[in-house]
Amino acid sequence: MDTVLHFLSQQGVLLLFILVGIGMSFGHIKVKGVALGAAAVLFASIALSAFAKSRNQDLEVPEVFGTLGLTLFTFTVGVVSGPNFFASLRRGLGPILATVCALTLGALVAVVVGRLLGLDPATIAGAFAGAVTNTPALAAAREAAHDNTLPTVAYAVTYIFGVIGMLLAAMLALRHRAHDTDLPPALVNCTVRVETSDEPRIRDIEKKHSDLIKFSRVRHGGMSYPIAAASDNDVLRRNDLVTVVGPADLVEQVTHELGHPSSHALDQDRSFVDVRRITLSNNNLAGHPIGELDLLGKFGATISRVRRGDVDMLATESLVLQLGDRVRVIAPCEKMKAITAHFGDSARGMSDINPIALGIGMTLGILLGKIVFPVPGTVFSIGSAAGTLVLGLILGRLGRVGPFVTTMPFTAAQAISEFGLLIFLAQAGSKAGAQIGDAFASGAWIKIMIVGIAVTCTVAAGIYIVMRQAFHMGGTKLSGVLGGTQTQPAVLGFANGRTGHDSRVALGYALVYPAAMITKILLGQILGGL
């Protein structure tokens, strides 16, 4: 056994993939319908590394792999979340401030409980960093305390419950998932026979309903006339047939405003126009809003829906298309072949990792994380993880800069994100496992554990109660917020596994992560300097 452990200690890449494979083997095991998923890699790595340490062998994945995995993970989470993040930022200011307050309260609890138990400031600071599972906060605490040993030992003692405690909170949040009210409404369509004599324009009706509905097909004048793709300038007259697409309640409302549901479904008649799902793989179209494509003028066509990942979205004029999007096109039958070629319709559109955006985004994000910001009495940097997340959010929001596409296909981003997460968890677990023996050899470990449990429970309970009661946040998004508050990828990986990568999980994570990261670093410095 010692020979095998010694061999693995010299083989960083081999060790990495062994830990990933073993961890995910356990991660897929379900107990009462619950599986740990990616988080199992962390715990398997801790266990194997601690076992090796007990036999005087160091099984630790090189730290550079952990940095690579974490930055890949945060960058791709940002790219995926960017389009929705900035739209929800104004509404998300409250949750961001609540996250800062919850972490500050956790720091106060650490100081009060730690001093009651007779712990020194360096140990308290390390216990706080471990309880909120934040390595940059540990580094800040060590620097402020001028002590590398005590904060590190306390960090190792409290880290495991920091992960487990927040996983339990996320599991509790997801138990209420079925009652979420922030679920994006399912899109439906209905063919309406127009009975009103007001002769409204389609553009005016869509604006009246805040562009939450869209008209896809129209037949003017009766059954003997052809069906065409609907145009914003179309005027609806009595006895026209028109297909409206949108959330069920709005579709029903528009139907009653215009007339009544028709027994003739325009989407079933393909004599004049056809419908097809087409994969966007043409770089020249990616990053542009739908309104700029002028499909009606070029092909007499329109887009009614866009499928990104597993989510259907209404094809509004302002929606920016990304590589890998599957667009639902309504067009004259004879134009469909040309439109398919125009969009590309290649599987490459779903798998192209866009190396230019990946390379430039990662470079700028890492450099942003290295920038030193002065604060009274000290300096700090946000770190590579927060830097790449911020750059990912910006590039995801931009979509295109000149001739360069700044996003990547949803499926490619998800694959890179999961791969990066597994690498990071394997490295973080192997590092923590190597320290855990020394940590528990300390006679003060029980007191340190009490501080850590108090901090983790305070932060988790504070976030859970405030987000549910004050902001009425659904359980799905809340699980992501919990992971972002803890800056803990294992929690996000667990929530993604339970929800099938619901977009609300990543949105919640990205919403609070930057503020949580900065707050923890500052609090670590303050506690270490007490």
- pLDDT (0 to 100) of residue 402: 85
Residue 331, pLDDT above cutoff 70: yes
pTM of this structure: 0.73
Per-residue pLDDT band at 381 (split at 50, 70, 90): confident
Can you tell me the distance from the alpha carbon of 324 to that of 350, in angstroms, rounded to the nearest whole number?
4
Residue with the bigger pLDDT between 82 and 419: it is 419
Residue with the bigger pLDDT between 458 and 281: it is 458
Greatest Cα-to-Cα distance within the chain, rounded to the nearest angstrom = 89
Residue 464, pLDDT above cutoff 90: yes
Contact 411, 324 (CB under 8 A): yes
- pLDDT (0 to 100) of residue 88: 67
- pLDDT (0 to 100) of residue 379: 67
Nearest to 448 by CA among 137, 130, 217, 18: 130
Q: Which residues pair with 242 in a beta bridge?
A: 192, 218
Can you tell me the distance from the alpha carbon of 494 to that of 38, in angstroms, rounded to the nearest whole number?
6
Nearest to 349 by CA among 418, 287, 274, 421: 287
Residue 334, pLDDT above cutoff 80: yes
Lowest mean pLDDT among 82-96, 184-198, 228-242, 489-503: 82-96
- pLDDT (0 to 100) of residue 378: 65
Can you tell me the distance from the alpha carbon of 86 to that of 519, in angstroms, rounded to the nearest whole number?
20
User: Which one-letter amino acid corresponds to residue 293?
Assistant: L
- pLDDT (0 to 100) of residue 33: 57
What domains can you pick out in the chain, each with its CATH number? 60-180+359-528 (no CATH), 187-351 (3.30.70.1450)
- 278: its two tokens: 């087409």
Residue 36, pLDDT above cutoff 80: no
Can you tell me the distance from the alpha carbon of 390 to that of 82, in angstroms, rounded to the nearest whole number?
9
Per-residue pLDDT band at 44 (split at 50, 70, 90): confident
Residue with the bigger pLDDT between 126 and 39: it is 126
Contacts of 333 (CB under 8 A, 6+ apart): 270, 271, 272, 273, 274
Q: Is 91 exposed, middle or buried (0-12, 13-18, 19+ CB in 10 A)?
A: exposed
- pLDDT (0 to 100) of residue 450: 95
- pLDDT (0 to 100) of residue 102: 95
Nearest to 451 by CA among 109, 28, 61, 139: 109
The residue-averaged pLDDT of 64-90 equals 81
Can you tell me the distance from the alpha carbon of 179 to that of 246, in angstroms, rounded to the nearest whole number?
22
Q: Which residues pair with 228 in a beta bridge?
A: 218
What digits encode the pLDDT tens for the residues 136-180? 787 678 767 777 667 877 887 888 899 889 999 999 999 888 888
What's 49-112 look like in SS3? HHHHHHCCCCCCCCHHHHHHHHHHHHHHHHHHHHHHHHHHHCCCHHHHHHHHHHHHHHHHHHHH
Contacts of 247 (CB under 8 A, 6+ apart): 185, 186, 187, 188, 212, 213
Residue 452, pLDDT above cutoff 90: yes
Nearest to 291 by CA among 184, 380, 206, 187: 206
Can you tell me the distance from the alpha carbon of 336 to that of 253, in angstroms, rounded to the nearest whole number?
32
The residue-averaged pLDDT of 298-324 equals 84
Residue 34, pLDDT above cutoff 70: no
The residue-averaged pLDDT of 56-81 equals 86
Contact 360, 339 (CB under 8 A): no
Contact 427, 61 (CB under 8 A): yes
Rg of the chain in Å (alpha carbons): 27
Share of the chain above pLDDT 70, in %: 94
Give the other-Cβ count within 10 Å of 262's Cβ: 17
Per-residue pLDDT band at 362 (split at 50, 70, 90): very high
Contact 421, 69 (CB under 8 A): yes
Contacts of 340 (CB under 8 A, 6+ apart): 276, 278
Average pLDDT of every residue of the chain: 85
